[in-house]
Structure 1
Amino acid sequence: MSGNLIPAEHAEFFWNSEPGKAPHEFVVMDIRERQKQREETGRDPSQRYNSSMGAHVIDWLTGDGPHDHPEGLFATEWVDRGTDRKTIKQALHEIGKIDRCEWARLMYSALDFYDRRSEDN
């Protein structure tokens, strides 16, 4: 997977959310690919999402707010909202597509290993 990782500076996060509920339908996109697709088709693949963060935001990777980095975004949007395990794993899997997010790949692998082991018992 390492050869196909999205550079962190080009990573965008899109999801749907409702007040008081954990985000769902989460996806990570490469801003360059999303813009290319929009130019080629006239449709933006992110249109179906009502929330976003990442490369299209001014302080992405340079600010000190929790939403300015993948770790903080994950912590505030998924961990801090009482999200179910399946949704957390899906978010970790998507964030794991980013080059500087080895932590997400490791966390996903650990949870997945534990889940598979629990199913066997």
Structure 2
Amino acid sequence: MLNSGYDWSLQRSHIEVPILDQPSTDIEKDPRIAIDPLGYIDVALTIRHALDQLHPDQRVALILVDLGGYTIEDAAEIEGVKIGTIKSRRGRARKRLREILDEDFFGGEEPI
């Protein structure tokens, strides 16, 4: 058992890992480097800007439940409020966030 783990670690050290600086690396053919970490930075900044425009209570409720993965009950306990309060804050936050993002991405026009 111990030897097989040692063999596996030696084998892994001999695998060639391409890097982006190598001119011979084809990003489209190598799935290990297919993700562009900067490709969605503009979207991330827009969403961050939209979240910053929300009321702090609404922002916390939205982040805890939708991004943090907490249940509504857990979020209510963390915030020290009733479950209905978290539900209403989150609902208002989602509605307002949708309005802000529609303005940013569609210029106030209705999306098709």
Which bin holds the TM-score, normalised by the shorter protein?
under 0.3
Larger gyration radius, structure 1 or structure 2: 2
In the superposition, the TM-score normalised over structure 1's length comes to: 0.24
Higher helix proportion (structure 1 or 2): 2
Q: Using structure 2 for the length normalisation, give the TM-score.
A: 0.25
Structure richer in strand, relative to its length: 1
Higher RCO (CA < 8 A, seq sep 6+): 1
